[in-house]
Amino acid sequence: MHDRKSLSLAAELRRNLRTEFPAVARLSVSDPDFMEAILDYAGRSQSSLVQAAALTLRSQLEGSGYLRSPPAANTEADPHAATGSHSAHKRRVYRGRVIEDPE
């Protein structure tokens, strides 16, 4: 579970995001993908205050081990991309839930 500081920051983010994204109001803290969904909405937000709070939340979650740090950009070509054996999945939010989309 998350610590109190991360949960309070996520709740503040949710309050700030409601004006821009009404679907955020349907997100529940008990959802397993709540933090990912909040960070996804915050990434699409136009508010610099929301984006700054999202960066703080992301760093707290990465520090606690909940989120993995983003991988470093690799300049080499992906070996699976050439063969087509790697099935690419795209994440998106549908009705407030993060879902995986096969391409």
Measured CA to CA, the distance from residue 73 to residue 57 in angstroms comes to: 22
Residue 23 lies in a domain: yes
Per-residue pLDDT tens, the chain, 103 aa: give them. Answer: 567 888 888 888 888 899 889 988 888 878 888 888 888 888 888 888 888 888 888 888 877 776 665 555 554 555 555 554 445 557 777 777 777 766 5
Q: pTM for this one?
A: 0.57
Residue 26 DSSP one-character state: G
**Residue 82 lies inside a defined structural domain of this protein:** no
In a domain, 77, yes or no: no
Evaluate whether residue 13 is within a structural domain.
Answer: yes
Please report whether residue 84 resides in a domain.
Answer: no
pLDDT at 50: 87
Which residues are registered as beta bridge partners of 98? 93
CB neighbour list of residue 33: distance below 8 Å, 6 or more residues apart: 97, 98
**pLDDT recorded at residue 72:** 53
- Residue 16 included in any domain: yes
Q: How many domains does the chain have?
A: 1
In a domain, 81, yes or no: no
What is the pLDDT at residue 88? 54
Range of the domain at 97: 4-69+89-102
